[in-house]
């Protein structure tokens, strides 16, 4: 069971949470080959079972063997921030999460009802697992008021900040020192996820071609 938990931990930072609230039927289970012939493998239930076992038996998550000496600030402790912080810690980064509210968890605590996602039994324990990876947390820190991104970088020595909340619309810089970071980690956000290489680029939304009816109304045809 411990080995199964380690395998899940390679791709899921919050397995006990994901096993409960993720829409598996449209994601992993929706792509399961067995589902074409019958019922898909119950991936979500298996993930939840293994993760709950790990929580009950205090199985430690596998962290980085060696630290790389780079400091990263993650803004927001919701599911995006926790996942990002956990993945960065596993990759050897020194991570601090800054949360504006007094309690960690974001939407996991304030947006999902207790019967769907138990707060003390599951959420709090999953956050403890992230802490066991070496991630530090600071609550009641409002970016833009308590401190700023520039201050985090210039005064506190952080080499990069990853914004998973709305911080006045200001984008956080992802520095070249994170070049060894897994490409799909680049930047986590509740609204989008960008690759580090394209982080400062403008996001071009594909232009939808107008229908014939719309062009007729505008006198274009």
- Quick: pLDDT tens for 162-195: 877 654 434 333 333 343 444 444 334 333 333 3
pLDDT of residue 215: 60
pLDDT of residue 20: 92
CA distance 76 to 95: 12
Answering whether pTM is above 0.85, one says no
**Biggest alpha carbon–alpha carbon distance for the chain:** 70
Within 8 A by CB and 6+ apart from 124, the residues are 105
- List, for the chain, all residue ranges whose pLDDT scores fall below the cut of 50: 167-205, 213
- Tell me the fold of 71-198: FAD/NAD(P)-binding domain (3.50.50)
Q: Which of 61, 118, 60, 53 is nearest to 86 (CA)?
A: 61
pLDDT digits (tens, 9 = 90+) for 51-78: 999 999 999 888 888 888 899 999 999 9
Could you tell me the residue ranges of all domains in the chain? 2-56, 71-198
Within 8 A by CB and 6+ apart from 193, the residues are 184, 186, 187
pLDDT of residue 208: 56
pLDDT of residue 139: 94
pLDDT of residue 114: 93
């Amino acid at each position: 069971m411990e080995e199964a938990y380690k395998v899940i931990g390679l791709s899921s930072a919050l397995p006990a949470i994901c096993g409960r609230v993720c829409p598996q039927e449209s994601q992993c289970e929706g792509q399961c080959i067995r589902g074409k012939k019958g019922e898909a493998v119950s991936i979500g239930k298996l993930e939840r079972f293994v993760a709950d076992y790990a929580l009950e038996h205090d199985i430690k998550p596998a962290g980085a063997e060696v630290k790389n000496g780079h400091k990263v600030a993650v803004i927001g402790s919701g599911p995006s921030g926790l996942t990002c912080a956990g993945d960065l810690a596993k990759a050897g980064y020194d991570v601090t999460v800054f949360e504006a509210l007094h309690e960690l968890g974001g939407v996991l605590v304030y947006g999902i009802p207790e019967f769907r996602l138990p707060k003390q039994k599951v959420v709090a324990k999953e956050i403890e697992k992230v802490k066991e990876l070496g991630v530090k947390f600071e609550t009641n820190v409002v970016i833009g008021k308590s401190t700023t991104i520039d201050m985090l970088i210039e005064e506190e020595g952080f080499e990069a900040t990853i914004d998973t909340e709305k911080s006045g619309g200001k984008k956080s810089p992802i520095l070249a020192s994170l070049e060894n970071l897994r490409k799909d980690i680049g930047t986590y956000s509740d609204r989008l996820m960008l690759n580090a290489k394209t982080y400062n680029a403008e996001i071009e939304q594909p232009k939808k071609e107008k229908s014939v009816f719309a062009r007729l109304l505008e006198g274009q045809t």
